[in-house]
Amino acid sequence: MPRPLIALDWGTTRARAFLISAAGEVLERRSADQGIQSVPVGGFPAAFETIAGELRRAAPDAAIVLAGMVGSRNGWIEAHYVPCPASPDAIAAAGMTATLADGTPATILPGLSCDEGAFDVMRGEETLIVGLRIDDGIACLPGTHSKWALVEHGSIVRFASFMTGEIYGLLREHSILSRLAEEPSGDDTPRGAALGLAAAARPGGLLNTAFASRSEVLAGRMPGGAVGPYLSALLVGHEIAGAQALFGRGQRVHLVADGVLAQSYGAALAAAGLEATLTTPEAAFVAGVRRLAERVAA
């Protein structure tokens, strides 16, 4: 018989816990600023109790599956990377078993690795990709280090990481481009985003077009409040172009995002002439962790 599931998306700085019914409904949620970097050596059983103890008391017979950086070498137990191509069955089979304070076992899911000339890794995103339930297609997961993945016959064949979010932070806050930047007001955000997407399509590349966020302000042709939106759209545009170069452009993109990221990536994909299907990260995680938990139980 299907069992309820307690699932944790446990990252570096935050942890999200879900109590999921046997039918797949999210019954309760918990969120904590207690990522793995804040957990002392030997402290993971106690941290789990703090984050998800109430969920366990609500469903003491639930299966327990943990995903994300909790399976890294700095996490609870290292769940080694599964090399691509990786099917949901292969991902589930590589899970490791951790033991809670009361002796209850919990499964820690592994990450994935890919070696397509340059070695690449992901940890946590594979669960969301599995949750998309696509047989063939391309998945895009925006973030600090965005992930693009090619899925064929239900397996994650290869993927690539893009440091879009981190580079944006560096340029916006710590480069010469930040000196003329201001907080957006009025129509600064849509104006800057439109200019950034247009610049991403011009020749010259990122290093040339990024500098325009300073020179256009100096020339009085762009307000300082548009600098951040310009850089964000520019970087996303170049990310999409890089992903197209790697994976082609003939397939629909399955975008896993919400809020501002859903809006910015949706606009950039449309500007690139690509169709997209949107799924929220929570929906993808819940669906993915359930699929993998079923395979762990089998």
Contact indicator for 32, 14 with CB cutoff of 8 Å: yes
Contact indicator for 107, 62 with CB cutoff of 8 Å: no
Contact indicator for 109, 79 with CB cutoff of 8 Å: yes
pLDDT at 197 over 90: yes
What is the per-residue pLDDT across 81-134, written as a single tens digit (0 to 9) for each? 999 999 999 999 999 999 999 999 999 999 999 998 899 999 999 999 999 999
Query: For residues 160 and 56, what is the distance between their CA atoms, to the nearest angstrom?
Result: 36
What is the per-residue pLDDT across 252-287, written as a single tens digit (0 to 9) for each? 899 999 999 999 999 999 999 999 999 999 999 999
The residue ranges of DSSP E strands in 185-232, in sequence order, are none
Q: Residue 277 pairs with which residues in a beta bridge? A: 254
Q: Where are the alpha helices (DSSP H) in 59-124?
A: 88-93
Q: For residue 206, give both structure tokens.
A: 């990122």
The residue ranges of DSSP E strands in 51-182, in sequence order, are 63-68, 82-83, 96-99, 105-108, 112-115, 119-122, 137-141, 146-152, 155-162
Q: For residue 257, give both structure tokens.
A: 């995002």
End-to-end CA distance of the chain: 11
Q: Predicted confidence band at 1 (pLDDT cuts at 50, 70, 90)?
A: low
Mean per-residue pLDDT, 142-157: 97
The percentage of the chain sitting over the pLDDT mark of 90, rounded to a whole number, equals 96
Q: For residue 276, give both structure tokens.
A: 């997209």
Which residue segments constitute the domains of the chain, with CATH numbers given?
Answer: 5-123 (3.30.420.300), 164-279 (3.30.420.310)
Question: Taking the CA of residue 45 as centre, how many other CA atoms within 13 Å lie in the half-sphere pointing to its CB?
Answer: 10
For residue 168, which amino acid is it?
Answer: Y
Distance of CA 58 to the CA centre of its chain: 29
pLDDT at 2 over 80: no
pLDDT of residue 265: 98
Tell me whether the omega of the peptide bond preceding residue 190 falls within 30 degrees of 0, making it cis: no
Query: For residues 252 and 274, what is the distance between their CA atoms, to the nearest angstrom?
Result: 7
Q: Predicted confidence band at 7 (pLDDT cuts at 50, 70, 90)?
A: very high
What is the per-residue pLDDT across 15-44, written as a single tens digit (0 to 9) for each? 999 999 999 999 999 999 999 999 999 999
Q: Predicted confidence band at 249 (pLDDT cuts at 50, 70, 90)?
A: confident
Question: Taking the CA of residue 67 as centre, how many other CA atoms within 13 Å lie in the half-sphere pointing to its CB?
Answer: 32
| Stated pTM of the model | 0.95
CA nearest to 296, candidates 75, 103, 133, 96: 96
Query: For residues 162 and 168, what is the distance between their CA atoms, to the nearest angstrom?
Result: 11
Q: Which residue has the higher pLDDT, 155 or 249?
A: 155
What is the per-residue pLDDT across 164-184, written as a single tens digit (0 to 9) for each? 999 999 999 999 999 999 999
User: Residue 35 contacts by C-beta under 8 Å, 6 or more apart in sequence?
Assistant: 10, 11, 12, 13, 14, 15, 69
pLDDT of residue 250: 72
pLDDT at 288 over 90: yes
